[in-house]
Amino acid sequence: SYVLTQPPSVSVAPGKTARITCGGNNIGSKSVHWYQQKPGQAPVLVIYYDRDRPSGIPERFSGSNSGNTATLTISRVEAGDEADYYCQVWDSSYVVFGGGTKLTVL
């Protein structure tokens, strides 16, 4: 089965740039979607098709995908961005989620 690997945690100072990676075998050939989940809340889609933002998601959120790594980039990080982030792909007719990354804003 396909495996998505995320770092358990990423820390960043306010105003800086956070990069959260999602590794998978030839993930660049797949479409990657990203979700933000704040404590006690349901996940929210923040990036779809590698780099597209749903309406209402700030432009500070961006994505890329190439080779074996997809990346969610959050620019000018704010305290409100502190959350868990999950990547997701569709592989062989199944849904796969990454293990999640906790973003801490210092």
Which residues of the shown chain bind other proteins in the complex (CB under 8 A)? 1, 31, 33, 35, 37, 42-45, 48-49, 54, 86, 88, 90, 93-100
Q: Nearer Cβ to other proteins, position 16 or 38?
A: 38
- 14 or 45: CB nearest other proteins: 45
CB of 15 to other proteins, least distance (A): 29
Amino acid at 41: Q
> In sequence order, what are the residues at sequence separation of 6 or more whose Cβ sits closer than 8 angstroms to the Cβ of residue 93?
none
Rounded to a whole number of angstroms, the minimum distance from the CB of residue 25 to other proteins is 17
Whole-number minimum distance, CB 14 to other proteins, in Å? 26
Task: Please give the distance of CA 98 from its chain centroid, rounded to a whole number.
Answer: 9
> From CA 20, how far away is CA 82, in angstroms rounded?
12
Give the whole-angstrom CA distance, residue 38 versus residue 23: 22
The angle subtended at Cα 17 by Cα 11 and Cα 20, nearest 5°, is 60
Q: Which is nearer to other proteins, 42 or 79 (CB)?
A: 42
